[in-house]
């Protein structure tokens, strides 16, 4: 891998603020549409591509499909309080890193037919991280995300 040269930043504070706002909007949209797609057990919900890009898009689709194949779906409320931890507008592509304390205590994996909670699927409060990536036409999508369930917050 070739070494990259550090260029002098060429973006303004307003551009950085706009990137923060767009990235957080994409993250919020990702959480909302993921909940909807999971509740409907629809791995190809059309709104997923509005907020997600690969590799995260494929991971989310596979998780929804896996739950559906096992007769389960996600239901309930997921509480989120994200913050931007870094903005890199000089990279190609530009990225924004997000950290979140996700409260999944009210967000459960349940059996579709009985609505009973799937054993061992209980949620709690944990750290989550995500990367928003800028694509063509200044479109920000969430391309990576990790739930750090071993790290309470």
User: Of 11, 28, 33, which Cα lies nearest the Cα of 84?
Assistant: 28
| pLDDT bracket for residue 138 (50, 70, 90) | confident
Give the 3-state secondary structure of residue 117: strand
**Which residues on adjacent β-strands are paired with residue 101?**
127
Task: State how far the alpha carbon of 21 is from the alpha carbons of 50, 107, 127, 139, in Å.
Answer: 16, 26, 21, 12
Tokens, residue 90: 């000089």
Q: What length is written for the chain?
A: 153
Q: What is the pTM of this model?
A: 0.88
pLDDT score for 8: 52
pLDDT score for 2: 43
For 75-93, what is each residue's pLDDT tens digit? Answer: 888 999 999 999 999 989 9
Are 26 and 96 a contacting pair, CB within 8 Å?
no
| pLDDT bracket for residue 1 (50, 70, 90) | very low
Rounded to 5°, angle at Cα 66 from 58 and 23? 35
Report the alpha-carbon distance of residue 144 to residue 44 in Å, rounded: 18
Report the alpha-carbon distance of residue 88 to residue 95 in Å, rounded: 5
Tokens, residue 136: 């063509």
Q: Is pLDDT of 3 > 80?
A: no
């Amino acid at each position: 891998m070739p070494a990259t040269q550090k260029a002098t930043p060429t973006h303004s504070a307003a551009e950085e603020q706009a990137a923060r706002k767009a990235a957080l909007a994409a993250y919020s949209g990702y959480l909302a549409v993921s909940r909807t797609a999971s509740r409907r057990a629809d791995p190809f919900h059309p709104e997923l591509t509005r907020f997600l890009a690969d590799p995260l898009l494929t991971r989310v689709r596979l998780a929804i499909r896996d739950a559906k194949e096992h007769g389960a779906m996600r239901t309930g409320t997921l509480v989120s309080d994200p913050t931007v931890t870094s903005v890199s507008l000089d990279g190609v592509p530009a990225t924004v890193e997000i950290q979140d304390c996700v409260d999944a205590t009210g967000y459960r994996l349940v059996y579709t037919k009985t609505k009973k909670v799937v054993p061992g699927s209980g949620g709690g409060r944990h750290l989550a991280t995500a990367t928003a990536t800028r694509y063509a036409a200044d479109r920000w999508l969430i391309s990576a995300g990790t739930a750090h369930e071993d790290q309470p917050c």
